[in-house]
Amino acid sequence: EVQLMESGGGLVKPGGSVRLSCATSGFIFGSMTMSWVRQTPGKGLEWLGRIKATTDGGTTDYPAPVKDRFTISRDDSKSMLYLQLNSLKSDDTGIYYCTTSSGSFDRWGQGTLVTVSS
Amino acid sequence: DIRMTQSPSTLSASVGDRVTLSCRASQSLVRWLAWYQQQPGKAPRLLIYQASTLESGVPSRFSGSGSGTEFTLTISSLQPDDFATYYCQQYNSFPWTFGQGTKVEIK
C-alpha cells in the first residue's frame, strides 16, 4: 500500500525558513516523480513543484512564484522527499502535501500545517 | 498560466440525485485534466484522470467527460459520502493549476 507522511510543519516567523519532509513506503520511490502541493485560505490548491524520478533524471520544475524561494529534493536511499521553504511570508500559511505525480496527483499524504506569523 | 474555472461554486442536492459539475479552462488541455474529491479535514483524493479515466477503487457512479476547454464530472446517484468539495486540475502545461472548487452540500 502506498503511504506518504509529511512532517516538519509548525509556527515560523516571517522571513524564516523550514524544511518539510515526506516519508514514503509501498512503492519504488526512485522510480516515482513526486510533487508538493499546498492549500491556503487565499489561493486554494497550488502546485509548488515536482522532482522527476531519479530513473528519469531527477530534475526539478517549479512555478514562477516560488521558484527562487522553494527547493525540492529527494533521498532515494531513505525513500524521502523534502521541501525547503525560505523567505516565508504570511500568505505561505497553509497545509503542505506531498504527492506522487504523473501529471495528475495520484496519492497524497495527510499534510503538514505551516503557520507563518510573528 | 492556464486559468481553471469551476461552476457552480456550491451545489445543493439530495441523496440519489444525478449531479453535474463543470470545469472550464482558459486554453485547450486536450484531455489532460483530473478531478479530485476532498472531504473536510482530509487530503484530496484522485477520482478521474485524463478527463475520463476512473482511478482504481473509485465507484463507477463517478464519470468524467470533455476535451479541449470544457469538462464535466457527473455523479450518477449521489451517496452520503459524496457530499464534499470537488476540484479540477490541468496538467497540459506548466504550471499545473487547479480550479477553485465546487462544494456539493446536502439540500
A41 in B contact zone (CB under 8 Å): no
pLDDT at position A102: 86
| Chain segment B41-78, per-residue pLDDT in tens | 999 999 999 999 999 999 999 999 999 999 999 999 99
Distance CA B24, CA B15 (A): 26
A111 in B contact zone (CB under 8 Å): yes
Residues of B in contact with A46 (CB under 8 A): 98
Distance CA A106, CA A99 (A): 7
Amino acid identity, position A91:
D
Answer for the pair A96, A38: CB distance below 8 angstroms, yes or no. yes
| Grid coordinates of A38 | 499546498
Selection from A16, A35, A25 nearest residue A74 by Cα: A35
Tell me how close the Cα of A33 comes to any Cα of chain B, in angstroms: 14
Q: Where residue A4 falls among pLDDT bands split at 50, 70, 90?
A: very high
B95:A64 CB<8 A: yes
Taking CA atoms, A16 is separated from A69, A87, A92, B10, B89, in Å, by 11, 5, 11, 37, 30
Facing residue for B43 by CB, picked from A64, A103, A111: A111
